[in-house]
Amino acid sequence: MNDEKIRVRVTSSGQTLDVVVLDKRLDLIRIVLGEGVHSVRCDLTPTRNGSAYVGNAMGRELVYERSREDVKSDLARAAGFRDFKR
């Protein structure tokens, strides 16, 4: 099975992490940090202006720096529709 991975940024340190996506919808992206028994789930929700998705995991703020429109086109591409814009 192919797990989708996205790159998120930890705002406090500027470090980037590759995380596995459990569920991706326009209003919520659910990710998993780590592997095995020490994994942590996190929900990323869009910001007010829709320019990024943010969430908290273990007291750290995570940012996925893609807009709602970018995620919408990713979802359309994954579903096989041809009306997405690059």
Examine residue 33 and state whether it is found in any structural domain, yes or no.
yes
Examine residue 84 and state whether it is found in any structural domain, yes or no.
no
Examine residue 83 and state whether it is found in any structural domain, yes or no.
no
For residues 7, 61, 48 and 41, what is the CA-based torsion angle, rounded to 10 degrees? Answer: 70
Instruction: Say what the pTM is.
Output: 0.86
Task: Report the DSSP beta bridge partners of residue 45.
Answer: 54
Examine residue 66 and state whether it is found in any structural domain, yes or no.
yes
Examine residue 14 and state whether it is found in any structural domain, yes or no.
yes
Domain extent, residue 11, equals 5-78
- pLDDT above 60: residue 37: yes
Examine residue 51 and state whether it is found in any structural domain, yes or no.
yes
* Beta carbons of 55 and 43 less than 8 angstroms apart: yes
For residues 19, 24, 28 and 32, what is the CA-based torsion angle, rounded to 10 degrees? Answer: -30
Domain count for the chain, please give it. Answer: 1
Examine residue 19 and state whether it is found in any structural domain, yes or no.
yes
Q: What is the pLDDT of residues 18-29, one digit of tens each?
A: 999 999 999 999
